[in-house]
């Protein structure tokens, strides 16, 4: 909570006490229990006064109610005053002390009682809305089975060490991150990534804590301790980043922090005016009412409650939002720039066509290409190797940066590379046709003569066109950024429904394009978080796609979509827009409340009890409105009548 509010005890950076984090039951919040006791004492005092009970009994009950309720905010207020900090708790303490000085014990007790209720509701709502994030840690099972000395042993997850072999049976959750050694299965990762489709996994596959093993028994090598696994890192990063305040929250804090000393000065001036006109008691009482009327506690908590609720809700669908700053900025985004490979496409390129010229055959072209690519880790290489049934023995292979590969075959020079570095010659029309089909074309040359061309295409994600259509319908401008050639990029962009294409880009070029887009409208960049890091950092908001378990993606981006489903993008954008609207509603309501109550209190039209009641009821409304950000709207169905058009094959 803001320092300006200053209500309640010392809080964590996100405004939730440690006790409230662990216990979110309504009656487990100490402020709520104190308010309940105070309310009972006030009720008994009121009944006693109506039935003609002794005055000392009524007074004792009112003082008791005051002391119990004041315990929830006066001690913390005094501690903050010692540190030179004033806030809403200061105003309430002064107002209660002033009411006691005037002999208005009932009004003082009522003020403290209602303020304690608002404190309790704030604690409860803040803790409750964080539960969606903290619940991620509950996905880790209480026990894990490990093989030690060839014997299965059950241990707590905290005792797992790197290198241990976990045995995970069908239906069990993984206790920590690891790598499958033996076994094949389908993993349910919906609780982590928000994706409902099971993920197929086998030997060598990375698996993450909290995933549910579906069909087959597994042996998994532990690669991360329980306190440092992917789930723990997600929770740690979000909680650490929640202290990053967005523009709206800084505005609320700034207004509240300046308003409190201004109110105190105004109250002193009102009291001085009372002495000047000869009615010090009347104006002293009005000064106290003004103190309460101008309390900005609702303003100070209006944005933090909303942020915590919204971030917790997003985590439930596998979206990691790093604090209020990222959330507010995301709500203002109007341009979405998307990387092609791995974001709009599956990042699983495949050979779709092979062309040969002269005496060369398609099989010979593929075999020669496979021989050159044998040791390459490039995605195109994997596609060519997967398509080739034979592999030529090519030696002395060198990589020519930005061009291709060169090697020796039976004393001849052979090359594989992009058009331009290798002259397409008689295959020029074929290469252009491949590129217009959205494929990347590579040429193969043997002893100075081009002998063939291979088309490799990374298919669009099946949901890509639908997602782009929804973004466009929502008023977003979309752009595609890629290092591919312009013809291929244009074909893929057209298939996805994107009209603004930027091709032949290096990582630094992407960052420059983002700067240009930012000059027009607030811009988000969606990429993989590694080679797109400069663009992600340059954008108003960086969104990493498929970031589960990827430290670089989580650290670089402001938002991380933990799964591979692109449909989460429009969903989180809608969520951020709605959250920002709620923030603005809360700030506006809080300021309007202060603007209305101050003149009414100054003119004597409202007494202390009435102002306290109105103010605290409005604060409850603000909290309740902020909590609405924790309710995710059901995912709007994408247009099923507009299927993604298949790119025309070249073969």
Angstrom CA distances, 147 to 6, 143, 312, stand at 53, 13, 36
Instruction: In whole angstroms, give the CA distance from residue 326 to residue 557.
Output: 9
Helix axes 247-277, 297-315, angle to 10 degrees: 160
Read off the DSSP letter of residue 5.
Answer: T
Q: Which residues sit opposite 442 in a β-bridge?
A: 454
Give the three-state DSSP class for 166.
strand
Query: How far is Cα 479 from Cα 505, in angstroms, rounded to an integer?
Result: 13
Q: Strand, helix or coil at 319?
A: strand
Per the CB < 8 A criterion, the answer to whether 523 and 478 are in contact is no
* Cα gap 491→308, rounded to integer Å: 42
The DSSP output letter for 419 is B
Residues with a known catalytic role? 339
580/590 Cα distance (integer angstroms): 15
Secondary element (H or E) of residue 36:
helix 30-50
Q: How far is CA 233 from CA 22, 381, 429, in A?
A: 19, 34, 52
* Pairing state between β 350-356 and 412-417: unpaired
Q: In sequence order, which residues have a C-beta less than 8 Å from that of residue 85 and are 6 or more positions away?
A: 3, 6
186: number of Cβ within 10 Å: 16
Q: How many CA atoms lie within 13 A of 162 on its CB side?
A: 5
């Amino acid at each position: 909570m803001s320092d300006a509010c200053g209500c309640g005890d010392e809080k964590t950076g996100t405004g939730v006490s440690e006790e409230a984090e662990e216990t979110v039951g309504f009656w487990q919040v100490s402020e709520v229990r104190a308010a309940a006791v105070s309310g009972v004492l006030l009720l008994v005092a009121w009944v006693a006064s109506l039935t003609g009970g002794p005055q000392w009994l009524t007074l004792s009950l009112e003082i008791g109610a005051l002391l119990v309720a004041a315990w929830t905010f006066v001690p913390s207020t005094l501690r903050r005053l010692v540190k030179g900090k004033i806030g809403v708790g200061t105003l309430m303490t002064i107002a209660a002390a002033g009411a006691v000085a005037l002999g208005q014990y009932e009004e003082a007790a009522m003020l403290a009682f209602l303020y304690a209720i608002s404190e309790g509701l704030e604690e409860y709502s803040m803790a409750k809305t964080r539960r969606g994030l903290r619940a991620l840690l509950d996905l880790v099972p209480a026990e894990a089975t490990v093989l030690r000395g060839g014997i299965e042993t059950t241990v707590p997850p905290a005792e797992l060490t790197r290198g241990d072999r976990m045995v995970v049976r069908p239906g069990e959750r993984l206790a920590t991150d690891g790598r499958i050694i033996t076994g094949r299965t389908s993993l349910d990762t919906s609780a982590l990534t928000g994706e409902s489709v099971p993920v197929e996994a086998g030997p060598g596959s990375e698996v993450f804590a909290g995933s549910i093993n579906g069909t087959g028994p597994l042996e998994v090598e532990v690669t991360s301790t329980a306190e440092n696994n992917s789930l723990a890192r997600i929770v740690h990063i979000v909680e650490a980043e929640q202290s990053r305040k967005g523009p709206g929250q800084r505005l609320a804090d700034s207004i509240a922090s300046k308003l409190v000393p201004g109110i105190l000065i105004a109250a002193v001036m009102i009291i001085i005016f009372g002495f000047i006109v000869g009615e010090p008691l009347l104006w002293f009482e009005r000064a106290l009412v003004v103190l309460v009327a101008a309390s900005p506690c609702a303003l100070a908590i209006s944005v933090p409650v909303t942020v915590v609720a919204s971030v917790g809700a997003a985590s439930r669908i596998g979206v990691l939002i790093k604090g209020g700053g990222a959330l507010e900025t995301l709500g203002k985004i109007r341009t979405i720039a998307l990387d092609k490979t791995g974001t709009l496409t599956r990042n699983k390129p495949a050979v779709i066509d092979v062309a040969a010229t002269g005496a060369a055959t398609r099989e010979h072209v593929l075999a020669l290409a496979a021989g050159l690519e044998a040791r390459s880790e490039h995605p195109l290489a994997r596609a060519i190797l997967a398509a080739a049934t034979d592999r030529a023995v090519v030696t002395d292979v060198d990589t020519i940066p930005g061009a291709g590969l060169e090697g020796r075959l039976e004393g001849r020079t052979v090359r594989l590379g992009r058009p331009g570095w290798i002259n397409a010659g008689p295959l020029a029309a074929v290469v252009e046709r491949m590129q217009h089909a959205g494929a990347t074309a590579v040429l193969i040359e043997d002893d100075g003569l081009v002998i063939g061309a291979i088309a490799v295409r990374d298919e669009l994600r099946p949901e890509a066109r639908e997602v782009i259509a929804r973004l466009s319908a929502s008023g977003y401008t979309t752009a595609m950024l890629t290092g591919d050639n312009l013809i291929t990029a244009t074909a893929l962009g057209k298939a996805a429904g994107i009209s603004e294409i930027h091709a032949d880009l290096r990582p630094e070029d992407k960052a420059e394009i983002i700067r240009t887009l930012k000059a027009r409208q607030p811009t988000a960049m969606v990429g993989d978080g590694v080679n797109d890091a400069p663009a992600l950092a340059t954008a108003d908001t960086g969104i990493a796609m498929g970031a589960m378990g990827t430290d670089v993606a989580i650290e670089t981006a402001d938002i991380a979509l933990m799964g591979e489903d692109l449909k989460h993008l429009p969903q989180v954008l809608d969520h951020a827009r709605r959250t920002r609207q709620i923030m603005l509603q809360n700030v506006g309501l809080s300021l309007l409340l202060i603007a209305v109550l101050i003149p009414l209190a100054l003119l004597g039209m409202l007494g202390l009890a009435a102002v306290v009641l109105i103010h605290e009821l409005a604060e409850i409304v603000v909290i309740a409105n902020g909590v609405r950000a924790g309710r995710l709207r059901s995912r709007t169905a994408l247009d099923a009548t507009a299927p993604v058009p298949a790119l025309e094959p070249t073969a």
